[in-house]
Structure formats: structure tokens, C-alpha cells
């Protein structure tokens, strides 16, 4: 009798949770574009800003604040971060996923940056928060 009562209590708690989860679950799909490249060798710059080199994408990097053209997308656990092309001081002071794909320009008013200057979605340290960071250049037409 006790086993039956416990089973009924578990089922009563499980059923609403299962129904709720079934209606809100949306699988994360791989983004369309070139293969995702993990980023590593992350260095803390200042505030919420971190830097990672992207030598394989240098030709796409921005180097003029007035002509931001970099098509790369930065992902944290397959979720895109952003906004891209953020002002470097906003990345440092505000964070929350802002990033910039940059190739040093001496007139930028910022220290030498080559690669991605970024912050995580919740401003935690990307070297210790156990989230996978990756970068991708989206396809222009078909992949």
C-alpha cells in the first residue's frame, strides 16, 4: 500500500513537469556557415573584456570604426553573443556578450587588439565558467 502511495505521489509530481518541459524544450541547432572554430588562448584585458586571437579569420577583421564589416559570429555554447561591432569601452564596462572582431589600427584609441575582444553573456570569466566559445564566418550563399 505504501509503495502504491509513493508511486502515485511521484507520478503526480512528474506528469506536470514532463508536460511543461515537453512544451518548452527547443533543441539548439548548429548555426549555418563554415565549421565552428573553438577559440582558446583567452587573455583578460580589463573589466569584462577578454581577448582571443583569430589568425584564421584576420582577413575579415574590422580595422576602421567607421567601416565595420566583419561577418564573424561569436557563440557561447552554440548561442550567439552580441551585439557585434561593439565599442571597446562598452565591452569592457558593460559586457553582457558584446564583442568586436578587430585587427589593430593605431588610430582606434585602444590598445593593440588583434582577434576578438569580447565579454561573456553574464560577465563571468570565460577561462573558468565551463562554457564553450566558438567563432564562425557565416556563409554568404550556400555552404
30-80, pLDDT tens digit by residue?
Answer: 777 777 888 889 999 999 999 998 888 888 888 877 778 889 999 999 999
The full set of domain ranges for the chain reads 37-136
pLDDT grade, residue 98 (50/70/90)? very high
Q: Which residues of 6-31 are buried (b: 16+ CB within 10 A; e: fewer)?
A: eeeeeeeeeeeeeeeeeeeeeeeeeb
Tell me, what's the pLDDT at 27?
Answer: 67
Q: Give DSSP secondary structure letters for 41-88.
A: --EEEETTEEEE--GGGGGG-B--TT------EEEETTEE---SS--H
Distance (Å, rounded) from C-alpha 67 to C-alpha 73?
17
Encode pLDDT of 6-28 as tens digits.
877 777 877 677 676 665 556 66
In this structure, what C-alpha cell is assigned to residue 84? 557585434
For the question of whether the overall pTM of this predicted structure is more than 0.85, the answer is: no
What is the three-class DSSP state of 103? Answer: strand
Amino acid at each position: 500500500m505504501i509503495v502504491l502511495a509513493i508511486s502515485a505521489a511521484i507520478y503526480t509530481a512528474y506528469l506536470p513537469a514532463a508536460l511543461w518541459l515537453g512544451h518548452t524544450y527547443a533543441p539548439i541547432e548548429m548555426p549555418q556557415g563554415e565549421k565552428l572554430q573553438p577559440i582558446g588562448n583567452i587573455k583578460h584585458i580589463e573589466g569584462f573584456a577578454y581577448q582571443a586571437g583569430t589568425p584564421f579569420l584576420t582577413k575579415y577583421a574590422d580595422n576602421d570604426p567607421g567601416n565595420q564589416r566583419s561577418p564573424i559570429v561569436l557563440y557561447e555554447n552554440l548561442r550567439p553573443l552580441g551585439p557585434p561591432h561593439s565599442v571597446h569601452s562598452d565591452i569592457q564596462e558593460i559586457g553582457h556578450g558584446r564583442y568586436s572582431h578587430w585587427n589593430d589600427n593605431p588610430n582606434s584609441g585602444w590598445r593593440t587588439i588583434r582577434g576578438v575582444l569580447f565579454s561573456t553573456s553574464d560577465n563571468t570569466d570565460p577561462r573558468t565558467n565551463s562554457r564553450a566559445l566558438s567563432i564562425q564566418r557565416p556563409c554568404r550563399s550556400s555552404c
